Amino acid sequence: MSECPKCGGKMIQGEAYINVDTLSTSSMMSGMMPTMPGMNLESVGIKQEKRIKWREKTGEKTGFLIKSEEVRTMSVKGIRCLECGYIELYAQK
Ligand SMILES: [Zn+2]
């Protein structure tokens, strides 16, 4: 178990992600149709969770004709302090 560099509290592991609200259908419809009473807009929106990725250039060149720099993609993990809420992120292969 890691210790918080700020206060020395306990750190717990977590994962960084973005919560994306896809309300494309309801926002399009609302312009044409009157909002129906009792209609729950919350259920219409599709909730999507997007993971944060870390991308870096490895410095290695790939390809014979078209030289392009190789890119390494890693998932971003993190630990959060239970005491002060300090978050430390790190990339994992
Ligand atoms: Zn702390």
CA of 55 to the centre of ligand 1 (A): 28
Q: Which residues pair with 77 in a beta bridge?
A: 15, 90
The pLDDT value given to residue 33? 57
The pLDDT value given to residue 86? 96
Domain containing 34: what range? 19-50
Q: Secondary structure of the chain: what % helix, strand, coil (to 5)?
A: 15, 55, 35
pTM of the model: 0.57
Distance CA 73, CA 89 (A): 15
Q: pLDDT tens for residues 40-58?
A: 555 556 778 888 899 999 8
The structure tokens 């870096």 sit at 56
Q: Are 81 and 92 members of one domain?
A: yes
Cα separations (Å) of 13 from 40, 48, 68? 35, 22, 35
Q: What is the mean pLDDT of residues 29-43?
A: 58
CA of 87 to the centre of ligand 1 (A): 9
Q: Are 46 and 67 members of one domain?
A: no
CA of 10 to the centre of ligand 1 (A): 7
Q: Are 93 and 58 members of one domain?
A: yes
CA of 74 to the centre of ligand 1 (A): 26
Provide the token pair at 65.
């004709």
CA of 13 to the centre of ligand 1 (A): 13
CA of 91 to the centre of ligand 1 (A): 20
Q: Quick one: DSSP state of residue 8?
A: -
Q: Are 25 and 41 members of one domain?
A: yes
CA of 54 to the centre of ligand 1 (A): 24
